[in-house]
Amino acid sequence: MSAVARLRNEARDLLELVLLPGLAALLPWSVCFRIFKWLCGRSFLYRDSCNEALAQASSRGWVRGDPAAWLRTRRLVTLIDHADFFLARTRSDRWMARHLSVRGEWPDPSEAAILCTFHWGAGMWGLRHAGARGLHAHALVAAHRRDVFPGRSVRYWYYGLRNRAVADALGQFPIEVSRSPRHIVEALRRGEQVVAAVDVASDQVAASEAIDFIGLRARVPRGLLRMAADLRVPVTVFLTGIRMSDGTRTLHIHRLGTRNDAASLIVDVFALLDEAVRLDAAAWHFWEIAPRFFAPASDLQQAPSATSATT
């Protein structure tokens, strides 16, 4: 990478990850939200990732209506998701109570549980709420390695601090997914919880499950949910969205309880993401890597029925 290209990338990362989202730490949220909505009408913001997301979603029939409006929503969700890092560092639980609308109840903090969420919406305040309610939840995170961010020092620095903010929001040390599953089992046996965004691409995990998802055939990770079934640990799913009219975060908590069949548990967990994406497709952050989730269109003729899953 040339020095000019690296400087351009670093400047864009500084603008998109720090300077613009960082306005949230300095301004009243109502004012900041209006500024964010105005900024997201401009095509320069998160241009490459948003354009790729639009192309992938369009090719799969998930851009309904005006593509420009879809892109505006996509940019706004991305910007707020980054802004929540700065808000979580500078705002109190009283602020959270005013700006987070909650539906549902967390499991008992004294009991083991697996808490599942997705890369949809803006999840930081869901984690903060879980920590404030006394849960002892350990986030499952990928190892933060510099080689994953070649020539992107700002990005490497930002995501390292963001991982730390997740741990601070929960009040517990994270568990690296690359380490032995023993650390997860030990936390559960202590009566603690683990929390994970389970919609990661199947090429990042050792084992995956084929399911029907938003009318398409997808492969999703099964390791953590198989552990839940094998150990008879209850599962709770939560999603943290954004009310686009005023910027209020919405936290919906779904307690699925204990299951002994991993395949049906996986289907039920991802049915909640299916519902969320159907409600607001632009709020799913992983459209740009959709080919790593979904089977090619040519394979859909061979897809099993919507209620089945491979074992």
Tell me how far apart the 2 most distant CA atoms of the chain are, in Å.
56
35-68 tens-digit pLDDT: 999 999 999 999 999 999 999 999 999 998 899 9
Q: What is the structure's pLDDT at 195?
A: 98
Tell me: pLDDT of 198 over 50. yes
Average of pLDDT values for 167-179? 91
6-43 tens-digit pLDDT: 999 999 999 999 999 999 999 999 999 999 999 999 99
Q: What is the structure's pLDDT at 309?
A: 35
d(CA 183, CA 100): 32
Q: What is the structure's pLDDT at 302?
A: 42
Q: Cβ(279)–Cβ(191) under 8 Å?
A: no
Q: What is the structure's pLDDT at 177?
A: 84
User: Following DSSP, what letter does each residue of 170-230 receive, concatenated?
Assistant: HTS--EETTS-THHHHHHHHTT-EEEEE----GGGSS-EEEEEETTEEEEEE-HHHHHHHH
Nearest to 292 by CA among 228, 199, 195: 199
Helix (H, G, I), strand (E, B) or coil at 251: strand
Q: Cβ(82)–Cβ(32) under 8 Å?
A: no
Sign of CA dihedral 60, 64, 65, 69: negative
Q: What is the structure's pLDDT at 201?
A: 87
Q: Cβ(291)–Cβ(56) under 8 Å?
A: yes
E runs forming strands in 83-167: 100-103, 113-117, 137-141
Q: What is the structure's pLDDT at 130?
A: 98
Q: What is the structure's pLDDT at 301?
A: 42
259-311 tens-digit pLDDT: 999 999 999 999 999 999 999 999 999 999 999 999 875 454 444 333 333 32
Helix (H, G, I), strand (E, B) or coil at 306: coil
Of the two residues 206 and 156, the one the predictor is more confident about is 156
132-170 tens-digit pLDDT: 999 999 999 988 999 999 999 999 999 999 999 999 999
Average of pLDDT values for 159-185? 92
d(CA 148, CA 263): 32
Q: What is the structure's pLDDT at 297?
A: 55
Q: What is the structure's pLDDT at 305?
A: 36
Q: Encode 234-255: b = buried (16+ Cβ within 10 Å), e = exposed.
A: bbbbbbbbbebeebebbbbbbe
What secondary structure letter does DSSP report for 232?
A: T
Query: How far, in whole angstroms, is CA 234 from its chain's centroid?
Result: 21
Nearest to 215 by CA among 278, 269, 266, 276: 278
